Homo-oligomer: A and B are copies of this chain.
Amino acid sequence: MRLSTRGHYGLKAMFDLAQHYGSEPIPLKTVAERQNISDNYLEQLIAILRKAGLVKSVRGAQGGYILARDPGSITVGDIIRAMEGPIAPVECVSEVEPTECDQAGSCITRTVWARVRDRLAEVMDSISLADMLRDAENLSEHKAQEYKQNAPEGGS
């Protein structure tokens, strides 16, 4: 039940773009450096996101990438489906074009995987990039708070 780096890096890149949504296009190299990903490789990955309509590109000098829509309307599910294909723990319960096996009607393991698939889709579709931005803000506030509590006098 592992994601490949495609989905992993894809989400990282999209989150990076979300953090800079509204300003000039971000060059791929910048994203790659910030997120610690090989820029050669990320180039391939972002092409997938572009073809899926999740990011827009601006070519030429001062070019780069921007989110195609606002962060509130892009979910983790959107990104993962683009990068890894339809959600499906096993082929026979794929979100699109499941190729049924012979005993599909009576297969109980199949119904188990359908439930797993639904939960997976549910959680991924419920988290948008905007949610992640909000979480990031809370997290950093929390950290600052912790810091204050742990070192209120300002140690050397």
Which 6 pairs between the two chains have the least Cβ-Cβ distance?
Answer: A119-B123, A108-B136, A3-B89, A108-B132, A11-B109, A119-B119
Query: Interface readout for A100-139 with B: 1 if CB under 8 Å, 0 if not?
Result: 0111011011011101100110111001000010011001
In the complex, A58 has a CB within 8 A of chain B: no
- The residue from B1, B8, B113 contacting A84, defined by CB atoms under 8 A apart: B1
Do A108 and B15 touch across chains, with their CB atoms under 8 A apart?
Answer: yes
Q: How many A residues touch B, CB cutoff 8 Å? A: 41
Interface centre among A108, A135, A139, A140 (most CB of B within 10 A): A108
Task: Give bound CA distance, A105 to B109, whole Å.
Answer: 38
Extra 7 A-B pairs, beta carbons < 8 Å, given A1-B7, A112-B127, A116-B120: A1-B3, A8-B109, A106-B139, A109-B132, A115-B123, A116-B124, A119-B119
Complex Cα distance, B101 from A90, in Å, reads 29
Q: A91 vs B3: C-alpha distance in the bound complex, in angstroms?
A: 9
Contact (Cβ within 8 A) B132 A123: no
The CA-CA distance from A101 to B36 in the complex, in Å, is 11
Asked if A42 is an interface residue, CB under 8 A from chain B, the answer is: no
Q: Are A15 and B109 in contact (CB under 8 A)?
A: yes
